[in-house]
A and B are shown apart, each in its own frame.
Chain A
């Protein structure tokens, strides 16, 4: 399933902030976590994560620091700030409102809802 670009970019802020709330992380690990969480259905172009991180850094939602990873390479780690946490709460409120609206309309339409939930992380077998 392809998720459209606008949705990806709109959801990138809450997703990145939420992942950083779990623990401090760096680009590659954040992408890996996104893949896990979405069961591989949210495919971000790897490079595009970085402008997002830099925007969050500029807005003061995350802080960056360079550390030497166990591999010996220098790696840029990101940590969520208190402003970032507040932003996440706000994003969450908005997304829940969107989600609730959509749920309401889906129910009113009685459309068959796809069975899988993102958390199940198992793609439907083809032709099931």
Chain B
């Protein structure tokens, strides 16, 4: 009998690899089981080949003897019914060496999470306590406590080259400088209460820096549509994980407060100065690690929510347009109406992005695509109504930094959605491919970051740090 370990001929190796990946896609059959079955298959092939069969024939017979894969996977599913509920146990995708890597990955992520949790407390060492007086400092720098560490995690994980690393470092250093050199007027003394450029910096810096995270996340694939699309998926999943962790943290804190109350200890000071800031920072790294380590657990969450809410949002928007046409009511312009419409466009864009990210580009247009188009077009019309009303009275309101930022964002989102609508309609009429839309969305990502950077860098200068 020939040694079963002898590598079979290349073509058989290829066939075995195909068989393995085919088997590995079954949810009920884990990679260790695939390894066990593969050992069986190889021994069978070796024995058959020893009996005089050609390698290909031996492979075919061995696969046949293994039995129908559907039936087999049903048997496995019956024995391991728990596996159909994907478990949050981080199992290595292959037995052996990768196990060590999974563990290293977990350790690195954990250390970075602790580092992020502690980083937020470092300024306190230098006398910058977390109180109302320093609220501005913490608000402006919040993203700088955690995003460099998150970027570092991906730099380590993707083994990025030093040239990329240098650019990322420059970006973070520049962010740190712009967030801190400007002599911002404390928000209370500003001409526009609650609308200072400081608040705008605090809001826009994370958006600008998220691009740096994305470049690190994509590794060398940022230039490819696929790499950027993965980053969009990652961002959505990260958001979902983060919300879940935050909810869990809330429950934990609630119980903590309750049981300590019972023995007469008030945890609020501890909660405010340690648990909340440290937990919120560390959770970002932990959530990112979870998204990476277990991409498949809640993988389908963002698309599922999209499917659920796209038709509902579309219905609400159509109803809004219909009502406003029917009653002839214009949009009642108040101070914050533009922000509300910005947020609406962001939500619609999110719905569009995640349905794109989960869609098979090759499948033909369907009913859901029509819903998407209705959603996008109705959002555009609603926004146009609001913009029209605002444009008519903008001189009367004056150009506050807040309003200019909101207007800029509105234009950016409007352009994105308008062209998306065009591409989507082309796709529905089979005049274009779905990948055009995908490419447009992923190409557009830097625009948000650039605008956010402009708000952070230019606005304070133009508006006199108010």
Contacts and interface: CB of A to CB of B under 8 A. Distances in A.
Interface of A: 26-28, 45-48, 50-51, 54-55, 58, 66, 69-76
A69 B69 CA distance: 26
Contacts of A54: 33, 76, 79-80
Contacts of B69: 47
Contacts of A72: 5
Contact of B67 (A26, A45, A74): A45
Given A46-B65, A47-B67, A55 B79 contact: yes
B390 to A, nearest CB: 65
A51 B79 contact: yes
Given A46-B44, A51-B75, A54-B80, A75 B65 contact: no
Nearest to B62: A46
B66 A71 contact: no
B111 interface: no
A62 B313 CA distance: 56
Interface stretch (B34-42, B329-337, B354-362): B34-42
13 contacts: A28-B39, A45-B65, A45-B66, A47-B40, A47-B72, A48-B67, A48-B71, A55-B79, A71-B3, A71-B5, A71-B6, A74-B95, A76-B35
Given A45-B65, A46-B65, A66-B95, A51 B78 contact: yes
Contacts of B78: 51
Nearest to B95: A74
Contacts of B71: 45, 48
A50 B32 CA distance: 12
B374 to A, nearest CB: 48
Interface string B259-278: 00000000000000000000
B311 interface: no
A47 to B, nearest CB: 4
Contacts of A76: 32, 35-36, 39
Contacts of B39: 26-28, 69, 73-76
Contacts of A74: 35, 39, 95-96
B43 interface: yes
A47 B66 contact: yes
A32 B95 CA distance: 26
Nearest to A57: B79
Interface string B31-70: 0110111011011100000000000000000000111110
Contacts of A27: 36, 39-40
A76 B96 CA distance: 13
Judged by DSSP, the binding face of B is helix
Given A28-B39, A72-B5, 18 more contacts: A28-B43, A28-B44, A47-B37, A48-B75, A50-B37, A51-B75, A51-B76, A51-B78, A51-B79, A58-B79, A69-B5, A69-B39, A70-B5, A71-B4, A73-B39, A74-B95, A74-B96, A76-B32
Contact of B66 (A46, A58, A73): A46
Nearest to A49: B40
Residue with the greatest number of chain A CB neighbours at <10 A, chosen from B39, B44, B76: B39
Contacts of B95: 66, 74
A27 B71 CA distance: 18
A48 to B, nearest CB: 6
Contacts of A51: 72, 75-76, 78-79
Nearest to B35: A74
Contacts of A46: 40, 44, 65-67
B4 A73 contact: yes
Contacts of A50: 33, 36-37, 40, 76
Q: Which 3 A-B pairs have the closest CB atoms?
A: A71-B5, A45-B67, A51-B75
Contacts of A58: 79
A28 B39 CA distance: 8
A4 B61 CA distance: 23
A54 B32 CA distance: 12
Contacts of B35: 74, 76
Contacts of A26: 39
A51 B68 CA distance: 14
A50 B79 CA distance: 10
Contacts of B72: 45, 47-48, 51
B64 to A, nearest CB: 9
Contacts of B79: 51, 54-55, 58
B67 A28 contact: no
Interface string B378-417: 0000000000000000000000000000000000000000
Residue with the greatest number of chain A CB neighbours at <10 A, chosen from B44, B69, B71, B75: B75
B87 to A, nearest CB: 15
Contacts of B6: 71
Nearest to A71: B5
A60 to B, nearest CB: 15
Contacts of A47: 37, 40, 66-67, 69, 72, 75
